[in-house]
Structure 1
Amino acid sequence: MSICLRLLAHPPKRQAIQWSIGKRCSSSSPPDPSAYAVRESAPQRVLSSPGYKEQPLWSAQKVLNIYAKSKKAIEGKKDFEQRFRNPRGIFANNELELSEINVYGFDYDYTLAAYSSDLHNVIYDLAVKNLINVYKYPAGIAEMPYNPAFAVRGLHFDIGKSLLMKIDSYHNVQLGSVYRGMSPVSKEDVREIYGGTHIPLEMLNDFWGRSVGSRMVHLIDMFSPPQTLLLANTVEYFIRHQIPFDSEYIYWDINGAIQLVHNTGQVHSVIMKNESRFLLQDSGLREFLSRINASGKKLFLITNSGYAFVNSGLTYLVGKDWRDLFDVVVCQARKPKFFYQTTRPFRLMSESTGTHSWDRVSQFSRGKVYLEGNLNSFMKLTGWHGSQVLYFGDHVYSDLADAGLKHGWRTGAIIPELEREIHIQSSAEFVRDLTWLSTLQFLIDKLQLTPDSVEKATILEEWMNEKRSIRLRLKGLFNPHFGSLFRTHHNPTYLSRRLSRFADVYTSALSNLLPFSLNHTFYPKRNALPHEWQVRPELHGLGH
């Protein structure tokens, strides 16, 4: 069936397109191209699609009636708790066919090894000691309360202004989620400080998450919550005691104290002495790795951690023979530099002495351990290239960004907080509030189209206040100060946007992949763009 168009004049102000369906256009006399153009003489052109009918405007009274009935119905509804997603599901940003994956790679910390929440407390305490003993900060900082529920991962810290904040994917500050120390900063002050709520691109990290030259630091990795809390507590301490301070010194000194915790082996030593306290056993981890290994596919490990620490952890989690499961093991890799620098060669580690060789590595041998290196050399030595490789990590910048965008690897992000977020989203309280928020937004849109009046303006103001109250309730379900890891009200967070760009799939733990075959395809959910219809699957025969 062909569709022909012709323009019909509707004086004095409108022209529309009439669609003639079923009448075949003559191939010998194609339509005049000018019929598709908007002539300058036409004051206004309304374009319609086949079957589209202009919807009549609702009256203000109709909108008010629907508001009252809808609110009563939603508040009295009982079946909201039936709507949920699997907290241990695999969620796809991009279609991923496991049948095309021949090589599986893994980071260690927070990927192969999952840690208990006690670890953040230990990191915080060690960093406080470094700050006081090495950087000579006031001893009273150690008395500031440790509150792990204060912040969420993925916040930004303004180095020059000592402000901690949540930013969305469009670089807008979420008002009500800006703190100096432990004190909230008012909306008016935020607007005055930044000339509005938008943060210019040059103030943020670059596309790859590197913050050189920027004023904002993205606190994104799984070890960042202790650093975030220490920043807030230290600033709060200086303010309370009226101690003059330069915000940049505060940030860099705390960053140095945190780096000492990791780089000098302080936290590794604590974990190795009490692995049952800090490492979370997952019976599915060995089964998952063994299944890949038995299928003939390749496995490798690339981690920044040292071999002694990794060996101790994987022996506890997987077994003494864990290295038999991997074709290549690389420690002290220096990610993200491993992915974008090409000058550092691999070194073979001696198991007996723990030292490294001075010869250049010309081939990888199964069962051996290699140090440092770079991705270009890794690909040359293994022959593993592009989309046949699937690499899992917890850090969307250091683990996934370069691997996926520059080298074509498929990528998977491990997000431990995901399970808690999904449990909250599945609660009756959350679904009820979200349903009413969506309904209220729809009614606000409708009311705006009615004739202006004093009554309309009053109702709109009341409804907007109600909308803000619902948003605050939803935010508080996740975290009273900063809300969800993934959303700033209706927009994705800055972290969420990076996750969708750098990770083909994401999940809370590696063992979540066990129910799926190695030939499974993960499909992204088709989300309607603002100009598209939201189409849902139409299923029949579910009762048979």
Structure 2
Amino acid sequence: MDMSRGTPDLLQHFTLWFVQANVLCHSVTLSNHRNKGMTHMMGPDWKDLFDVVIVQADKPTFFTDGAKPFRRMDERGNLLWEKTDRLEKGQVYQQGNLYEFLQLTGWVGSGVLYFGDHIYSDLADLTLRHGWRTGAIIPELESEISIINGPQYSYTLTWLQSLTGILERMQMYRSAEAQEVLLEWVKERQELRAQTKNLFNPYFGSLFRSYHNPTYFSRRLSRLADVYMTSVACLLNYDLGYTFFPRRTPMQHEAPLWIDQLCSGCTKTPFLDDMSNIR
């Protein structure tokens, strides 16, 4: 778990939540200034909240290089050079590597959930090579969700989807009058597409979507992360036994059922009753 993201109170609450549920926790960080920072975020007894603490892990080589051994540090931050044959709770270890970590802890497979804020240096090797579950921390998600939940985005997207459906069904009419109306609708649709994109960022739009297509970042995120959120503290809104099921996304050849759209959050969109008959 990379503890560099999140506010102190929420991180402490989150970690205590795991500890009270007897969930094994470990912290892997690049920083060597762990004591002052963790004391500020978690309190003076922060080491009691983790089963394993590793500093200066040198990620991402920590996950790929098996040459660097673990070295235990004393209270003054000095390295002790005896061989590390076990990782003890309450101690702080420097560097090391994932392969030795797996041997010493036995934490293998899909029973491990690791949180990180970089999908390549933190998550890629863990999920592709070792089968760990992964959670991505994406602070930018907070502003995107705020925009998505806003009335302007909801209205614009609802009308954009509806107008697209109307165009698909009405373009068969070939009269001059019908074609004139269709051209106006096409122009309006282009304007709506630009509006939905510019709501996020006038230069490149959403971090997760380019018009109707997911971005490259979004596709890699879906491949390398089982869940993603703005902070690990978001999990405090759920019971520890809660299961996050994957959402079904219709393929191009599949009919998008309205119930699928309801599951994705369209129950909050305006004029839903009026739009429900547009198929």
TM class by shorter-chain length?
0.7 to 0.9
Shift of 1:321: 0.5
Moved more, 529-538 or 328-337: 529-538
Structure 1 residue aligned with 2:63: 339
- Matches of 2:10 and 2:256, distance apart in 1: 37
Matches within 5 A, 1:140-179: none
Structure 2 residue aligned with 1:238: none
TM-score (normalizing by structure 2): 0.86
Letter in 1 for 2:3: Y
Shift of 1:293: 1.3
Shift of 1:331: 1.0
State whether residues 173 and 179 of structure 2, in contact with CA within 8 Å, keep that contact through their aligned partners in structure 1. Answer: no
- Matches of 1:520 and 1:421, distance apart in 2: 24
2:24 is aligned, of 298, 313, 317, to 298
Structure 1, residues 385-410: CA drift from partner, whole Å, max 9, x if none? 01110011111111111111110001
- Matches of 1:529 and 1:379, distance apart in 2: 39
- Matches of 1:360 and 1:465, distance apart in 2: 70
- Does 2:246 align with 1:520? no
Structure 2 residue aligned with 1:107: 2
Shift of 1:375: 0.8
1:529 is aligned, of 232, 246, 251, to 251
Structure 2 residue aligned with 1:490: 212
Letter in 2 for 1:434: L
SS in structure 2 of the partner of residue 330 of structure 1: strand
Letter in 2 for 1:325: L
- Matches of 2:95 and 2:177, distance apart in 1: 69
- Does 2:184 align with 1:469? no
Shift of 1:525: 2.1
SS in structure 2 of the partner of residue 514 of structure 1: helix
Structure 1, residues 17-36: CA drift from partner, whole Å, max 9, x if none? xxxxxxxxxxxxxxxxxxxx
Matches within 5 A, 1:124-273: none
SS in structure 2 of the partner of residue 329 of structure 1: strand
Letter in 2 for 1:382: T
SS in structure 1 of the partner of residue 237 of structure 2: coil
- Does 2:156 align with 1:430? no
Bigger-Rg structure (1/2): 1
Q: Write 1 or 2 for the structure with the bigger share of helix.
A: 2
Structure 1 residue aligned with 2:200: 478
Shift of 1:412: 0.8
State whether residues 72 and 79 of structure 2, in contact with CA within 8 Å, keep that contact through their aligned partners in structure 1. Answer: yes
- Matches of 2:58 and 2:172, distance apart in 1: 57
Structure 1, residues 285-325: CA drift from partner, whole Å, max 9, x if none? 2222112112222110011222x2x3222211210101100
Structure 1, residues 142-197: CA drift from partner, whole Å, max 9, x if none? xxxxxxxxxxxxxxxxxxxxxxxxxxxxxxxxxxxxxxxxxxxxxxxxxxxxxxxx
Shift of 1:482: 1.7
- Does 2:118 align with 1:395? yes
SS in structure 2 of the partner of residue 522 of structure 1: coil
Matches within 5 A, 1:27-176: 106-110=1-5, 114=6
Letter in 2 for 1:365: E
SS in structure 1 of the partner of residue 221 of structure 2: helix
SS in structure 2 of the partner of residue 363 of structure 1: coil
1:411 is aligned, of 115, 134, 138, to 134
- Matches of 1:291 and 1:478, distance apart in 2: 34
Shift of 1:328: 0.5
Over the residues paired in the alignment, what is the CA RMSD in angstroms?
A: 2.1
SS in structure 2 of the partner of residue 478 of structure 1: coil
- Matches of 2:48 and 2:71, distance apart in 1: 20
Structure 1 residue aligned with 2:88: 365
Shift of 1:414: 1.4
SS in structure 2 of the partner of residue 338 of structure 1: helix
1:506 is aligned, of 199, 224, 228, to 228
State whether residues 11 and 232 of structure 2, in contact with CA within 8 Å, keep that contact through their aligned partners in structure 1. Answer: yes
- Matches of 1:344 and 1:429, distance apart in 2: 53
Aligned length, in residue pairs? 261
Letter in 1 for 2:200: F
Q: Structure 1 residues 360, 456: CA separation in 2 closer, same or farther (over 3 Å shift)?
A: farther
SS in structure 1 of the partner of residue 80 of structure 2: coil
Shift of 1:345: 1.5
Shift of 1:413: 1.1
Shift of 1:373: 1.3
SS in structure 1 of the partner of residue 27 of structure 2: strand
Name the % identity: 47
Shift of 1:454: 5.3
1:287 is aligned, of 6, 13, 16, to 13
Letter in 2 for 1:394: D
Structure 1 residue aligned with 2:265: none
- Matches of 1:386 and 1:301, distance apart in 2: 18
Q: Structure 1 residues 367, 446: CA separation in 2 closer, same or farther (over 3 Å shift)?
A: same
Q: Which runs of 5+ in 1 are unaligned?
A: 1-105, 115-279, 539-544
TM-score (normalizing by structure 1): 0.46
- Does 2:222 align with 1:327? no
Letter in 1 for 2:208: F
Ranked by relative contact order (alpha carbons within 8 Å, sequence separation 6 or more), the top structure is: 1
Letter in 2 for 1:467: R
Q: Structure 1 residues 323, 459: CA separation in 2 closer, same or farther (over 3 Å shift)?
A: same
SS in structure 2 of the partner of residue 371 of structure 1: strand
- Matches of 2:152 and 2:173, distance apart in 1: 32
